[in-house]
Structure 1
Amino acid sequence: MNPEIKSYFPILKQEINGHPLVYLDSAATSQKPTPVIEALKEYYGSDNSNVHRGVHTLGNRATEKYEGAREKVQQFINANSTQEIVFLRGTTTAINLVAQSYGRANVEEGDEIVITYMEHHSNIIPWQQLAKERGAVLKYIELEEDGTISLENVRAAITDRTKIVSMVYVSNVLGTMNPVKEVAKIAHEHGAVMVVDGAQAAPHLKIDVQDLDCDFFAFSGHKMVGPTGIGVLYGKKQLLEAMEPVEFGGEMIDFVGLYDSTWKELPWKFEGGTPIIAGAVGLAAAIDFLEEIGLDAIEKHEHHMAAIAMDKMSAIEGLEIYGPKDPAKRAGIVTFNLKEVHPHDVATVLDMSGIAVRAGHHCAQPLMKWLNVTATARASFYLYNDESDIDRLVEGLRSAKEYFSDVF
């Protein structure tokens, strides 16, 4: 990866606690490059207006940028049409929309919803609630010992009673890259739809929803160098057309009478109220930035970073790494624990050296239970990280181990 990439991220030029910042928390949220920051500044400084409703110049400019962003997303994930691209607040909102709209209309008592133990809470709780409401059965695909899933276990879990299969493409804890294309095929053989949580995949892998043949795909802008508060739900057109909106008000209506109303066509019927205009503009700039570098190059770089990190971290006695041992089976996420040291303490000591990692249950408490831990520390790498960041992390972990050895 080009070492100059880091220079595009102004936040990385600062010091934390007297040390140059090493940011290893991109799985939680990524940093923003200058082109994205400038795109937001230009929109608010020159084009700020509401979209679709006005005929004045600013309104037209804002509408062109907003709908232009939709076209960019369509091309980015290779959707068939812009009508299949719905702008929402993020992955969480997108999955909830599928559960509340498609799920309520298609899941009945005794039907099955199938997920995995490695899901983020955003891809568990909506299905829990739907199962309770509809009297459905929530089932979990068993994991292999290394935190991967086998297609054999997928076939064992999915039956003709299964209506929805929902799975993370890349685990935010284990870094596991799941075979969602193959799982979608199995789901379709049983008449079920496939929902993919792509929050950790879209920033790091080249996505082709037509090749995956998933029915729904959700991701967030803030994890892919874009702004917070903007996300995308992709859905196959025939499914979205049959779905009812779950949020009502301005912008999403066609005609409003005293006692009845009709909705706009796709995708606007799902975008009630003033949409996330600036977020969409920033997301478009983020896509331009990522595509200029190349998603294939980003994926290769992250595999390389994960391999080096796992090799160097494994040399630290008492440090346990979770997830697949083969770097080729995981994204740039390395989750770990130091023996007899709470991950919050590890993260605090690392922060004193200017190293930012995440500590906690990572919104994946069922997976923590499966791992037989209450919490972990997590280092997540992105396009702006390099080998010197790994060396700083390893040095910081050795210092943390030494410090707590002296304390205890």
Structure 2
Amino acid sequence: MPVAAFAVVAGVIGAGPVIAAVQGDPALPERTAGQLLADAAQASRSGLKPMSGTVMQTASFGLPGLPEVQGGMGGASPTALLVGSHELKVWYGGESKLRLALPGRMSETDLIVNGDQVWLWESEANKATRVKVDAGAHEKAGGHPKPEEALPTAVTPQQLAQQVLQAAEADTVVSVTNTERVADRAAYQLVLAPKDASSLVKEVKLALDGETFVPLRIQVYAKSSAEPAFEVGFTSVTFSPPAAENFTFTPPAGAKVEEKSLGTLVGEHGADRGEGADPTHGRFEDGELKGKIRTVGDGWTTVAVLPVSERDLRTPDTGGQRGQDAGAIADTILKSAKPISGAWGSGKVIQTKLVSALLTDDGRLLVGAVTPEKLAEAAGRK
């Protein structure tokens, strides 16, 4: 998660210019934005060192009250992740040793990886699943891109940082502070602020550990709020090898024990997580929308345009409880929509703190971290 956070934010930095400035009393040696990017890139390429910690995610997008939906691994509702705070505990002992724990109100879900032993423990269901992993499946499928592969190609971290800085020309200002403390550790903080007034993002803050340069926290602020609309970061972290017992697991007496392939398990929990609550999910799988999504604009004000109608949202192509959940969520959100019209046509617009969505009467869905006016402008660009 920390390395992925760096990859995402490095990509964001590539959307605009970087102006480095050190503020406050120095607690760490002064470094420019370019130097920090180089340090973080080097840390990413060297691989995550053994560590353990607790990660907290907090979201406050300003969404209308959403109905509770069924499912979610460990009893966690997918829509619940859009509001409130959620905790994740992580232990990392190397490439073959990993443990993730997702505490619930009265339950906990654990994923334990120890070499070729992989277990999923769901306390609420009193069920332990031993996961069979096909060693060759990953390679046959072409593998999944690593976080660093999302970054521009460069020979050295310094060249990488330079490429990022050169790619940023006109719409971002980045400042650097060296006096932050995150999870009781000294940290640098990169602050990225878009210049374009049509962006709903006020700034993005990325805190990098002052010793390891591992990202410790990312915060996204909306212009309409003094508190982060989204935040994920460590509340505690230790960069030392976790104890071996963290990676051992024996099903408790009386627990239901199953054995499943990784593909089967992912498919089941994909359904449980409510992927059907995304009314376009089935259409993506069937290839109906593949190749039909386009973007308008770039950088902070990029708008995605999808061929989705109101009927698609209200009557998703999934049956049973998932279809009912999706319809209920769509109904709740659409009730808060406001009518809008222009030379491009007419439709309904929904705005949260960070994201706006425009559903046009001619069957288009436009989404972006921009003002409704920017969406209307994008709607006029056929």
Same fold, TM-score > 0.5, yes or no: no
Q: Which has the higher helix share?
A: 1
Q: Which has the higher strand share?
A: 2
What TM-score, normalized by structure 1, do the two folds share? 0.22
What TM-score, normalized by structure 2, do the two folds share? 0.23
